[in-house]
Structure 1
Amino acid sequence: MPVEASATPDALLVMLVGGATLLAVMARHVCGWLRIPPLVGYILIGLGLRLVGAPLEWLNTPVITAFELLAALGLVALLFRIGLESDPRRLLAKLPGASLIWAVSVITAGLAGYAGARWVGFDPLPAGVAGVALTATSIGVSIPPWQQAGALGSESGSVALDVAELDDISGVVLMAVLLSLIPVLQTGEAIAWGTVAGTTATLLTSLVAFAAACWLFAHWAEPPLARFLASRERPPAPMLVVVPPTLYGAMTLVTLVTCAATPSVVQVLLTRRPQLVQPSASPR
């Protein structure tokens, strides 16, 4: 019998979110006991909620919105922590080797995705979209096992982080270029290479501008801001820092295109001395 979600939406929402949180804690301990990444347990919980909730009509719009919000907040927190624990110099040192791995990964994944989509009967255009989508490596999926194993700061961990970042950036650029070409490809007209070049140049310019803004912030605004926040902190109570709306709005104009692809790079660039902004830091 379907559950009337509209009768008690708040109770249903609290029950599902609370239950999922409890299951996630249990899954983490069970996966640790089985020596497998907790991410496996989280995925199984999501699949279980989908299989059970869909027939019972539990997964209505408010519930799905709540889970999407929690997922976004969790991913932001995860990537922020990864950025704080990363060593920018080591990442830059490993970039040449990671670039070769990235190139092979993108080409192999793209061709395999396209061939697989064609094999199951997709037309060339949808198969191309599938191939491009498979070139991206989600940092939120690939990096947590390294972090939980304490190996993210190792040589191999730095290479893995570089490759994941490059994969995500190239995936966004390639998908944007492909989406700009889809209307032309559907009509059978000649490809407007000027449009392709313009789209690519816009994305790369946004990325460079965003990196430059982060560098300027790190070298001019971050030191006094970090000292101010450290002086205001009163351990052991943690302090929640909210970015002023004006600063947030100004940076958002630059990051609309690139922030989805480079979240962990942002955290590395914005913080040169992580110990000053961590909750456990003591004032000087």
Structure 2
Amino acid sequence: MPIKIPDNLPARRTLEAEGVMVMREADAVRQDIRPLRIGLLNLMPNKISTETQLARLIGATPLQVELSLVRITNHVARHTPADHMASFYRPWDDVRAERFDGFIITGAPVERFPFESVTYWDELRRIFDWTQTHVHHCFTICWAAQAAVHHFYGVPKHELPAKAAGIFRHRSLVPASPFLRGFSDDFPIPVSRWTEVRRRDLPSNAGLTVLAESDETGLCLLDDPAHRMLHMFNHLEYDTTTLADEYNRDRAAGMEMPVPKHYFPSDEPTHRPVNSWRGHAHLLFGNWINQMYQTTPFNVDSIGLAA
């Protein structure tokens, strides 16, 4: 089944060109099934690119998915046109009475700041708490994953001596996990962050399970069943050229940036990188959606009531 997104969302044209099945809103209402409701709180600066990346992965599943775009209520996006935000995004205050089968919270370019100094930290904490009563399962990415484990468990983040950027090999530690179904023993994942969460800081009695990690960059994927959350500290959703775009952007801004590791052929930034992680990105999101579909209540209004 296809993904249902607004008819005029820029991601629609990209996804249709790639062969992803995208349903028109008028057609969706005629189907006598309940689509999975997934919300996306998009904190990334290039919101249109992130929408497309995540909609591509969500739309590849055999289930009908209704994607709702959500923003921080009083935060003004500086890198996305205001008319795009007004047309396609709803402030969280307007959706907080609704319930979702799944909810994705992205990374944000604020990881070098203390959590408490981020302007929308108080609202994000309320959103984390809201997911416990209005969302069946939550998926956090990069900084949002760090923020979630800090909010719920007090786990600190640590600044790295240099940005961790590149494609790094990771190990599957719990092959029997439903989220890792079909994964190789060893697989590549894009990493792009200035900070990290360390395994030794995780509380031992909280039921947290490390599903994947890297010898070079540490924790990657963390299962948090107590809060019905999956925390991904890296970026499987990235496009082929996203790391290159970030590298060139930072260099153009005068920042001393190392070339992303294991990414450009021959470590030469003028060479086009090869996407070696796309298959595992589809696996992870497909597994997450399948697990959510198997366990979510049929009646949307029942979501969160048994939490």
TM-score (norm 1): 0.25
Larger Rg computed on CA atoms: 1
**Larger relative contact order (Cα-Cα within 8 Å, sequence gap ≥ 6):** 1
TM-score (norm 2): 0.24
Pick the structure with more strand per residue: 2
Pick the structure with more helix per residue: 1
